[in-house]
Amino acid sequence: MTQLPIFGQPPDRPAEKPAGDRAVTLQVLVTVKAAPNPSEKYGETVCVAGLSTDPERPGWVRLYPINFRELGRDASFKKYDIVSVEAVPARQDSRRESWRPRMPTLKVTNHLKDWARRRRWLDPAITEITMCRLHRGATMDSQSLGLIRPKRITALRITRHPGWSSSQQAKIDDYVKQITLFGNEDRTPLRAPRFAGTYHYECQEPTCRGHKQGFIDWEFVAFQLLRLGGLNDTAACEHLERRFLHKMCAPDRDVAFYVGNVAAHPRTFSVLGVYYPPRLASVSR
């Protein structure tokens, strides 16, 4: 079993990507698996993010693109796994944390099963920078991933997902045609989720007027597909609110949000996932 050091707070300003396209080996504690989106080339792609466990390369890491349905058993991984993977700087994505993984090289080296082990890494990573400050300072070179502590969560608004756009559906259709023509694989096209969610909250900034950010965690989508299929809309929304608001964001949890922005719109942030260990009596507010 790998001995894990205690990690400090990630730097507020991400390091520049190395020059050239030489692959480097990244060690990443996976904390985020975003909901899959249509891709013409890959069928569907997922953005994965996490915290570097390499003291020589501290900070947050974004790995994209990844198609989980095409991964073999040896390359499959889940949240709070620690993975080793070769990756090259993502040149089409100017965000400094973004890398293109070489998926055949990916190996799971550890898993942090309980909250106590996760807290050693992630509690120090909860930034003192507020969501308001992240938004104000957002540029192509600034921090695009973070773990922030909300001051007050006011709602999780759940609405009907509008379905794929015409361009997204065209990507799915083109990929399915490629499979039929070349691969003869039985591949179910990516389904749009039934519901979309938006967290409403206030950050720790004294003058915060509130944030409304889309919730794009894969867990939110998977819960709909696996657990709510037989329920009507009202009952399904109640189950989603119960799990992702009343349970995960309960008063007895030390809640923080994994947040990330959009490459083309640096000031547009989403909630990528929820960090919700049991509250510690000694944690000050």
For the chain, give every domain's residue range.
24-113
Could you give the CA distance from residue 210 to residue 267 in angstroms, rounded to a whole number?
A: 15
Q: Which residues fall within 8 angstroms of residue 280, CB to CB, at 6 or more apart?
A: 254
CATH number for the region 24-113 comes to 2.40.50
Q: Which residues fall within 8 angstroms of residue 249, CB to CB, at 6 or more apart?
A: 153, 156, 255, 274, 276
Q: What is the pLDDT along the chain (285 residues), one digit of tens a residue?
A: 444 444 556 766 788 888 888 999 999 999 999 999 998 888 889 999 999 999 988 999 999 999 887 776 666 899 999 999 999 999 999 999 999 999 999 999 999 999 999 999 999 999 888 999 999 988 877 899 999 999 999 999 999 999 999 999 998 888 887 765 555 455 678 999 999 999 999 999 999 999 999 999 999 999 999 999 999 999 999 999 999 999 999 999 999 999 999 988 999 999 999 999 999 874 444
Q: In Å, what is the CA distance from 106 to each residue of 2, 16, 72, 237?
A: 17, 23, 11, 36
Encoded tokens for 254: 């030390």
Residues 199, 271 contacting (CB under 8 angstroms):
yes
